[in-house]
Amino acid sequence: MATINDIQQAQKEITVDYPISEVKQAINLVFETLPSKYTKRESGANEMLGIYHFPVQNNLNPAIIDLSLSEIGENKTKIQSSIVNAGGSINSTSTLSGLLYNYLDNLSKALTGSLVVEIEEEKTKKKSKKKSKKKGCLWAILIWIAVTIIGAILVQ
């Protein structure tokens, strides 16, 4: 029987067709483009050994990811990853697996170059939504003013 004190974790090992140097650059790109989700700590990264240990913030599911990179061939890198609950948090293994999958998905997007494009598209969508919301308020205010003026004229 599992208890609350049992360590919940998820692990994944993948091999990618990229040299280890590009994988390290992609990991740093994920830190730079998604700082609200993944926080790089100087004490948690040893790039020479290819080891990374960093916190993940996803709503109310804080966790810690450990990555270990190994060069298999000239253009292949093995990524061993595991995720555990952050101190004091309780998440199911499936939640941890989802968090790890999201990180690996962002890492693959960084490797292919689509992460930066996706972030820029999100920023553009947010700006256009803000502009459209402002226009809606303006029309509502103009209609309210017109109705007030017409009402005042009709009462006289």
- 97: CATH: 3.30.530.20
**Total domain count, the chain:** 1
What integer pLDDT is reported at residue 34 of this predicted model? 87
Q: Is residue 119 part of a domain?
A: no
The pLDDT assigned to 3 comes to 55
The average pLDDT across 93-104 equals 90
Domain-located, residue 2:
no
Helix axes 93-112, 114-155, angle to 10 degrees: 100
Residue 93 lies in a domain: yes
Task: Name the residue range of residue 52's domain.
Answer: 9-112
141 domain residue, yes or no: no
Q: Residue 24's pLDDT is what? A: 93
Q: Is residue 72 part of a domain?
A: yes
Res. 128: pLDDT tops 60: yes
State yes or no: pLDDT of 136 exceeds 80: no
Does 120 fall in a domain? no
The tokens for 71 are 């060069």
Structure tokens at 24: 């390290």
> At 80, is the pLDDT very low, low, confident or very high (cuts 50, 70, 90)?
very high
Tell me the mean pLDDT in the region 83-96. 84
pTM over 0.85? The answer is: no
Query: Cα dihedral angle (104, 106, 107, 110), rounded to 10 degrees?
Result: 160
Q: Could you give the C-alpha distances from 108 to 8, 36, 38, 69, 83, in angstroms and in order?
A: 25, 19, 15, 14, 17
Q: Check residue 6 and give its pLDDT.
A: 62
Q: In whole numbers, what is the pLDDT of the chain averaged over residues?
A: 84
Q: pLDDT tier at 53 (50, 70, 90 boundaries)?
A: very high
Among candidate residues 115, 154, 125, 132, the one with its CA nearest the CA of residue 25: 115
